[in-house]
């Protein structure tokens, strides 16, 4: 089995719903539209979460990579 690199995994997640955790505890859910080598992210239909409930909707959002703690498939 070939070894997977983190950016390869993100590339396969393009167009899919993801959950992004940020420093400070904020969480956002949206469709991963783009990313770069610094893990700067573009989310479409982004919404901020409190627990599992959306508290704010943002539409298209850019998240700076140095704030990202985790990226996970969204439910």
Give the pLDDT mean for 28-37: 96
As for how many domains the chain has, the answer is 1
Q: With respect to residue 1, please indicate whether it lies within any of the assigned structural domains.
A: no
List the strands of the sheet with 27-35, edge to edge.
53-63, 41-50, 27-35, 17-22, 68-73
pLDDT digits (tens, 9 = 90+) for 41-59: 999 999 999 988 999 999 9
d(CA 13, CA 17): 8
Give the pLDDT mean for 11-19: 95
Chain CA centroid to CA 60, Å: 12
Q: With respect to residue 50, please indicate whether it lies within any of the assigned structural domains.
A: yes
Domain that holds residue 53: 6-73
**CATH code, 52:** 2.30.30.100
């Amino acid at each position: 089995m070939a070894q997977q690199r983190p950016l390869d995994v993100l590339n396969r997640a393009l167009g899919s719903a993801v959950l992004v955790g940020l420093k400070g505890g904020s969480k956002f859910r949206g469709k991963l539209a783009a990313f770069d080598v610094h893990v700067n992210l573009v989310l479409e239909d982004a919404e901020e979460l409190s627990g599992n409930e959306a508290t704010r909707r943002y539409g298209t959002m850019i998240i700076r990579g140095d704030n990202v703690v985790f990226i996970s498939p969204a439910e």
